[in-house]
Structures are given as structure tokens and as C-alpha cells.
Chains A and B, each alone.
Chain A
């Protein structure tokens, strides 16, 4: 096995196991925290420069989810939990995406949407702003609606360990 420095491949691997594509565009890196073993693929744009502008006193800095919308315009932090897969050309403006969520290709997750754990968002879905998607649901359509439930047996397939291992080792 070659050392991490010598491999001039598609992905840059960090000490905590994050794999970041050289062709991704990450803006405002100081405000982005990767939890480790995160894969950022090619052509991804992550905006960290759009931070929350109006911090009110009661709110602690770095609170993962801000639910209060004042009458002032503000950006808000986005938290993506573990084992989340986001398909190509999808745009995420949600407030929170829970664990084991799989989002298909060409989806739009609206502002302030909250997606709970074990949710499947099918290809081409438009999740409207402020929608809260309950756990174990399947969402599809424009605008997105809950169209089904994830059965207990299907949960195993939503673990992304194998997918993580398969990326960047070629």
C-alpha cells in the first residue's frame, strides 16, 4: 500500500478518513466541520461562507439547529448526521438531515426542511421549505410527499460503510 501523500488520485484523504475530491469546490472552510469518514465527491459545492449573521444572545454559538426565524434575514447552520448519502446534482438547503438518510439524484431539499433518521428521498424530489419528514418514510414527487414507509428489514441497506470503502481506492 502506498502512503497517503504519494497517491495523486481523485481524492485527498485526511487523517480522520475524510475523502475530498480534488474537483469539489468548498468555500468558507473555516465554518465547515467534517465528522470523519466523510466523502465529498467531484463537482460538489459546499458553502461555508454563508454563516449565521444575526446571533442573538440566548443562542449558543455552534448550535447545530436553529429553529427560530426572526424577521431578519439570516442563514442557518446545516447539520448532516451519519451515514447520509446525497446523490449527484442535488441541492440541500435543509436545517437538519438525520442519520441513515439516502437522497437521490437531482433532488432539491428546501430551506429549513428537517429530515429525520432512516428516510429515503427518491430521485428528482423537491422537498418544500420547512417540511419535516418523519423517520422511516419514503419521499417522492414535486412537491415532495411521503409516499411510503421503510420496512424494518430494509434498514440494513442504508449503512454506508461499504460505499465509503469502495471510493477512492481504485
Chain B
């Protein structure tokens, strides 16, 4: 076994991208597929994140944080026109380590925690919190302010601290801007 592994396969096609100039994207992030990937302003993409636009486009809003080893994008052929329209993460969405998001729409301020899976075509409302290792089925619709925790237990959290949470995420992005060397040119 050699330590330098050279792949004989041609490199995967670079997807068309629309990247905001204030985007923070680590060099080791991976953007693959054929549809458009649009990433908004002040969004942080950690290393080893996979964004796959093979089956539908991906739109990520501003102030989002997408952590390492998470996978964003459909992983199989869309079954209806709604799914074909693509995947949208609104603003200030936090996707933590190892989460898999195939949703149609994830609302503003929603946090998807470690290892959670959002099924194909699902719609997650605004300011939700999807707890660690939770699963949301295909096409499911989660109303705003839902917290999913434990073994699929749900409650509505209207504590009214959304604005503070959004500010925290904005600060977090500012910290990440200093810590993660961004390599915008590689993905353009």
C-alpha cells in the first residue's frame, strides 16, 4: 500500500456555483454534482463537508454554519417535481457534525444537531432544533419552533429567544472566519 494514493478516475465534475464574497469555505470541503450550488454571505463551511448537487440544486442562505462530515443534498433520484426543485437552507441554519440533510426546505434559525438525518423532501420550519441522532422521515413537515429530542419526542419551544440565538450564530461565524482559512477561488 502506498501512502500517496492517486485515483485513476477523472475528477468529479465541478458544479456551477454562486458564492458570496464573504463566504468562508474550507479547502477540504467538497462540492460535487451538476446542478447549481448557491452559498450565501457570511456562511461557514467546515472542512470535509459534502454538498452534493447531483440530483437537485442546493441553496444556502446567509450566516449558516455547516460542520464537518455533514452531507447536504439529495442522494437519490427525486421522485416528484417538488423534490426536483432543489434543497434550500434559509438564513442562520446550523448543521452540526455528521448530519445528513436531504430536505426540501430548512427554515431560518434551525439547528440540526450531530448525526441527525432529515429525509428527502422534508420541510423543517423556522427556529427548530433537531436533536442529536434524530431522524425525520421523507416528506415530513415540521412546524416552526419544534424541538425534537430523545427518541423522537417533540415539543414546541416559544421561549422567544430566537433573536439572541441568531446573534450568537452571527458571532460564531465571526469567530470561524478567523479560524478557518477560506479558499473561495478553488470552488469558483
Q: Are A and B genuine complex partners?
A: yes
Partner-B contacts on A (CB < 8 A):
8, 22, 25, 27, 45, 47, 49-51, 53, 72-75, 89, 91, 93, 106, 108, 110, 124, 126, 142-143
Q: How many chain-B residues does the 8 Å CB contact rule pick out?
A: 27
- Please list the 9 inter-chain residue pairs (A to B) with the smallest Cβ-Cβ separation, ordered nearest first: A108-B132, A73-B171, A73-B172, A53-B175, A126-B132, A108-B114, A91-B114, A142-B150, A91-B97
| Given A75-B175, A126-B133, 12 additional A-B pairs, CB 8 A | A8-B3, A25-B28, A25-B47, A25-B48, A73-B168, A91-B114, A91-B132, A106-B115, A108-B113, A108-B114, A108-B133, A142-B151
Would you list 13 pairs from A and B whose C-beta atoms are within 8 A, ordered by A residue?
Answer: A22-B3, A25-B47, A45-B48, A45-B68, A49-B179, A91-B97, A91-B115, A93-B114, A106-B133, A108-B115, A126-B150, A142-B150, A143-B149
Q: A8-B1, A45-B69 are in contact. Are A124 and B133 (CB under 8 A)?
A: yes
| B164 to chain A: closest residue by CB | A71
| B98 interfacial by beta-carbon distance below 8 Å | yes
Our count of residue pairs bridging A and B at CB distance below 8 angstroms stands at: 58
- How many angstroms between the C-alpha atoms of A89 and B97 in the bound complex? 11
- How many angstroms between the C-alpha atoms of A72 and B171 in the bound complex? 7
- How many angstroms between the C-alpha atoms of A143 and B133 in the bound complex? 10
Q: How far does the Cβ of B151 sit from chain A's closest Cβ, in whole Å?
A: 6
